[in-house]
A and B are shown apart, each in its own frame.
Chain A
Amino acid sequence: MENRFHVRPELCIACKSCELACAFTHSSLQGQPGKSRINIKVIKADESRLINTPLICLQCDEAACATICPTNALQWNLETGALVHHDLRCVRCHLCVAACPFGNIYFDPVTDYPVKCDLCDGDPMCVKFCPSGAITWLPLTEAEVNRIQPEINEEADTD
């Protein structure tokens, strides 16, 4: 059964556990933590309220990053359903980063290679470490019911 992320910003307490979990999961061979693929964005909604949103790759079906990549460095892992970036094929043209409409693929400042969520081989660590349930990993149908993604698109379209 395929799973999807289900993100509920209202539950996020901005503890950054997910970022840490991600960074350590993607440590280099020498043990250096990597750049986190999940990013908690804190935005001031109004004077009294902050909104914390964990932002992570949505593994779009027709991903702009994969479409624009001139060397096919972004390839689907059919087992986990993750769109995975392969450094070996990458020529660091920066196009994928610019192409992602959500800003969910970034450059690792150390290696200068793009990094994006690879779903931790099908068992996302960020979910395991989230104390508040702001980010959950649910079967597709369940996630789909709760999904707000279509609304984002709708919103974007009317913009």
Chain B
Amino acid sequence: MCQDFSRLPEIIARHRQSSESLIMILQDIQQEYHYLPPEALTLTAETLAVPLSKVASIATFYNSFSLKPRGKNIVKVCLGTACHIRGARLIQDQLEHKLGISAGETTSDSEYTLEAVACVGACAMAPVVIVNEKYHGSLNVNKAAKLLKRK
């Protein structure tokens, strides 16, 4: 895959050039590319003078980072306690079935990435699914299935 990394220096330059900014820089890179390309990690490490191994360590330690390319649409199923006891597992099963992938995977056409996340803090409307940053609450299996624009 050929990708344009010309925006990387600009993203990094937005932050204070200190290792303190590392996590936030990676978040911004992920925002832009939907994942963390190895090139981005290398450049970040060089710019901030942080060892590459530490950058890789951070990129894999925290949940929100992905080193694998993700789909165009990110579907997050909340598995917080409130959602769990209101049947989040059913919703997850349904979405997995519908997309034909397990949580954490991306469909072969790169349209959807399904992620199971711990609490998103919208517990009052459990169970919750977030599609591309938009919250959908008080779901049931059928409503959840309709969130995906595919048969």
A and B touch in the complex (CB under 8 A): no
